[in-house]
Structure 1
Amino acid sequence: MLRSRLLPWAAFVAVHGLVAALNHPDVSTAFGDVRSVYPWWASRAMQGDVVGIDEPWVYPILAWLPIAASAIAGPAALPGMWLVVVTVLDGIAFWLLLRHPHGLAPAWTWLALMALLGPIVVGRIDSITMPIAVAGVVATWSGRHALAAAAFTVGAWTKIWPGVLWLAQLVVRPARLVTVAVAAGVTAVVMLVALALGAGGNVLSFLTWQGERGLQIEAVLATPFHWLGAPLGYDDVQLTYELQTPAADAVAAVATPILVVATLLVAGLGVLAVRRGVDRDQAGAWLAVALVTTLIVTNPVGSPQFAIWLIAPALLLVGIRAWDGVAVIVVLCGLTQLCYPWLYGEVVGQNAIGLVVLTLRNAGYLVLLGLAALRLLRLPQVAGAR
């Protein structure tokens, strides 16, 4: 009994040790943001210039919490402390999973996906939202809709994407008033604190920042341009490689409105499924997958860490034994690690091997979206499910 309880934790330590080692500067550059960008923000904050408060910021304001916690010993110590913060948060969510009667298989799935994603899985703000979203999933399984809504809303105020998990909960679960009230309450507290600190309109600047970006080279929407030989360049403001053609700029300009419309359409599929009287667990899992994948497919950014977003939906799929969807996510995570960091030079150089792997990965996102939409449309009616 003790051995069976310790084995998942031994694997947890091993996987986190592996991805930490892969982030060593002699091994990969995947920890670049944590080594340079986050300490730079922390240093500026200590001098009285706080991004998100004193000027616009790419992230929602709660993204400051893990950065500030990691900078408690100074900006120079931030990278090491970041790994501690991520591991502690992951550990809490992992513990919650293992406490759930059916949490063992999802827990193992989470570790497998982390290993497949590689170093990036602990190297971005998205790494913070991962355990928050997992905690929300566990709360959903336990019928604690208020806690789930709180987790997803806190996650959304850290890196937006968990907001679609909240949307899936709103569509599928019966406690809609609770879901809305909790989200409104959390949002009110966050905004009031930010405004009290002097953020003004900057508290919502992350919503407009996205529309100012070009088409990032890893984005699904960028794939055809690579094969057409479109030039690319490095954006010193966004700190990323983007395609540099008028056509790519035009696609980037309309991507965000398309993202919003597509998200609403996919949510509509969930509404129709619920009205048909399908199993709510099935609908909730596939709707979460469809919504998260829609954010990725229609996004002009396309960063490799976006694959982290699929981990919480993957656990929902494990919960309903939808192994076809889990298998697609497994492949996507593996291909993402190949794209970044190991073949990133080939991707930037638009060499054949890099473009082939990137294209396969991006095609995988489309396959996953299509599969999720199809499942939502074909879920059978269940007696008494309405």
Structure 2
Amino acid sequence: MWFDGRVRTQARPLALAAGALALWAIAKYWSLVTQVWRPNEYSDAYYYFLQCQKAASGGGLAGLLPEYPTPAAALLYLPYALGGVDHDAYRWTFLVGVVAVDALFVAVLLARGWTGAVVAWTVLETLSGRLALLRFDVLPAVLGALAVASLLRRRDAEASVFVVAGAAVKAWPAILAPLTLGDRRTRVRALATSAISAAVVAGASIAAAGWDRLLSPLFYQRDRGLQIEAVAATTGMLARLDGSGPQVVWTTWNAYELAGPGVQQSLANANLAAGLALVAFVGLGIRWLTQGSRPDAAAHLALFATSAFMVTSKALSPQYLLWLAAPVVVVLAHSLTDRRRISADGVRAVVSFVLVGVLVTLTAYLYPLHYDDLLAGAGRPTEVLAVRNVGLLVFMAWSGAAAWAAARSERGSRGPAATG
């Protein structure tokens, strides 16, 4: 019959989508069992719970989790407000929220026909283990990925909303804001949307917890020291292998940091690297703008900016790899969708995904498997940390090169502006 072909054509994508969804659900359940319930792990959820207890006893939102933006603190208080007044109930409610965010992301990917992205995301997230369950970085990672997805669809104003929302819970998505201004035809609308969204978030934050609380994450990050996993700490961590390096100490910033010889120089090097990365980002951005503002180039610029932020930061925690994992699966899916052959964009996306997969795997080896050994100065974990950090540098350089190459095109290749 005439409709047989259409039925078969529609049935295959639906079957693939159902299979990808089933894979995600099974992997999520397996992760919950092996990473949370069986070992009875609480991780950062217990820290969030203790902070919520203090806030409920009189500290209020103004004193709750000052290292995070006010909206993030409010979201982390929500499980407590919903009845999670003991650590076990808080963990359950927190997990429901994190899994719900994850499920919404998967639903968006499937709605756009990106079945492969669901599989890729499931692999990376499962490798991340408890980091994707008991810390809340899945939320800003997903918001950053949705911003990249909007950029790829030429919906800059929509992307700006996701950027502001991401920055409202963790500051790093703000670095993606310039990428929403690529199309001169929608630039004013995107800028206005960003400004209005940011004003709403800032106004609500000030009304809820005050001006000082709005700025507290900036001061918190400014005053902290050199975290042991930071790229700038690599030489110090290697120096510990022969007993000549700095000490590892637990600080008031709730992190293991280096203290001793060479630390101040490493911090200075990180600041210098941040300046150089900013110059590189500006240069790549100018090339992108002058060559037609291609969406594929914007996506790789987003990966470059995010990895540069991680590489040059004096704080680098294992869950930060999720910041790369979520956007890279979007880039991969977009580059390989409806293509009869793998294009240059597809090759770049595949390489980016493989590199992120390697980085996530190395990070999983470090945390939680061998973190105590790393603190003790054991050789193998320290060497793996060094390889992981070199890998981050390689990924940053690759993303910059990919953005440069993807920007090569005729002027106006960005295509018509989206109307929806």
Q: Same fold (TM over 0.5)?
A: yes
Partner of 1:269: 284
Partner of 1:14: 26
Q: Measure how far apart 1:193 and its partner are.
A: 1.7
1:128-181 alpha-carbon deviations (Å, 9 max, x no partner): 212223333333344433222111111111011222233333347853222222
Is 1:105 the counterpart of 2:116? The answer is yes
Distance 1:376 1:57, change over 3 A: same
Larger-Rg structure: 2
Look up the SS of the partner of 2:374 in the other structure.
Answer: helix
Q: Measure how far apart 1:242 and its partner are.
A: 0.7
Indicate if the aligned counterparts of 2:145 and 2:330 stay in contact, CA closer than 8 A. no
Of residues 67, 74, 84, the one that matches 2:96 is 84
Partner of 1:69: 78
Q: Measure how far apart 1:307 and its partner are.
A: 0.3
Q: Measure how far apart 1:315 and its partner are.
A: 2.4
Partner of 1:308: 322
Partner of 2:55: 45
Distance in 2, matches of 1:265 and 1:300, equals 19
1:82-106 alpha-carbon deviations (Å, 9 max, x no partner): 11001111111211111113x2222
Look up the SS of the partner of 1:300 in the other structure.
Answer: coil
Is 1:238 the counterpart of 2:253? The answer is yes
RMSD, aligned CA: 2.4
Partner of 2:386: 359
1:342-365 alpha-carbon deviations (Å, 9 max, x no partner): 011121112111012111111110
Amino acid at match of 1:315: V
Amino acid at match of 1:190: V
Is 1:214 the counterpart of 2:214? The answer is no
Count residues with an aligned counterpart: 381
Distance in 2, matches of 1:117 and 1:259, equals 27
More deviation, 284-293/5-14: 5-14
Q: Measure how far apart 1:185 and its partner are.
A: 1.2
More deviation, 115-124/280-289: 115-124
Q: Which runs of 5+ in 1 are unaligned?
A: none
TM-score (norm 1): 0.91
Distance in 2, matches of 1:57 and 1:254, equals 27
Distance in 2, matches of 1:152 and 1:173, equals 19
Distance in 2, matches of 1:50 and 1:21, equals 34
Distance in 2, matches of 1:178 and 1:65, equals 29
Indicate if the aligned counterparts of 2:151 and 2:298 stay in contact, CA closer than 8 A. no
Indicate if the aligned counterparts of 1:93 and 1:134 stay in contact, CA closer than 8 A. no
Is 1:317 the counterpart of 2:331? The answer is yes
Amino acid at match of 1:344: Y
1:232-285 alpha-carbon deviations (Å, 9 max, x no partner): 3333411221111142134336635753662353143122133133x6122112
Partner of 1:338: 365
Distance in 1, matches of 2:188 and 2:25, equals 40
More deviation, 125-134/217-226: 125-134
Distance in 2, matches of 1:172 and 1:362, equals 35
1:300-345 alpha-carbon deviations (Å, 9 max, x no partner): 0111011010023302430222211111011011111111110111
Look up the SS of the partner of 2:226 in the other structure.
Answer: coil
Q: Which runs of 5+ in 2 are unaligned?
A: 1-10, 336-345, 415-420
Is 1:348 the counterpart of 2:358? The answer is no
More deviation, 69-78/295-304: 69-78
Partner of 1:190: 201
Indicate if the aligned counterparts of 2:21 and 2:118 stay in contact, CA closer than 8 A. no
Is 1:119 the counterpart of 2:147? The answer is no
Indicate if the aligned counterparts of 2:70 and 2:209 stay in contact, CA closer than 8 A. no
Indicate if the aligned counterparts of 1:263 and 1:295 stay in contact, CA closer than 8 A. no
Distance 1:211 1:347, change over 3 A: same
Amino acid at match of 1:61: T
Indicate if the aligned counterparts of 1:130 and 1:309 stay in contact, CA closer than 8 A. yes
Which aligned runs of 4 or more in structure 1 are off by greater than 6 angstroms? none
Is 1:200 the counterpart of 2:214? The answer is no
Look up the SS of the partner of 1:238 in the other structure.
Answer: coil
Partner of 1:381: 409
Indicate if the aligned counterparts of 2:84 and 2:91 stay in contact, CA closer than 8 A. no
Distance in 1, matches of 2:278 and 2:116, equals 29
Indicate if the aligned counterparts of 1:172 and 1:283 stay in contact, CA closer than 8 A. no
Look up the SS of the partner of 1:269 in the other structure.
Answer: helix
Indicate if the aligned counterparts of 2:232 and 2:269 stay in contact, CA closer than 8 A. no
Indicate if the aligned counterparts of 1:153 and 1:183 stay in contact, CA closer than 8 A. yes
Is 1:94 the counterpart of 2:121? The answer is no
Distance 1:182 1:284, change over 3 A: same
Look up the SS of the partner of 1:59 in the other structure.
Answer: coil
Of residues 148, 151, 158, the one that matches 1:147 is 158
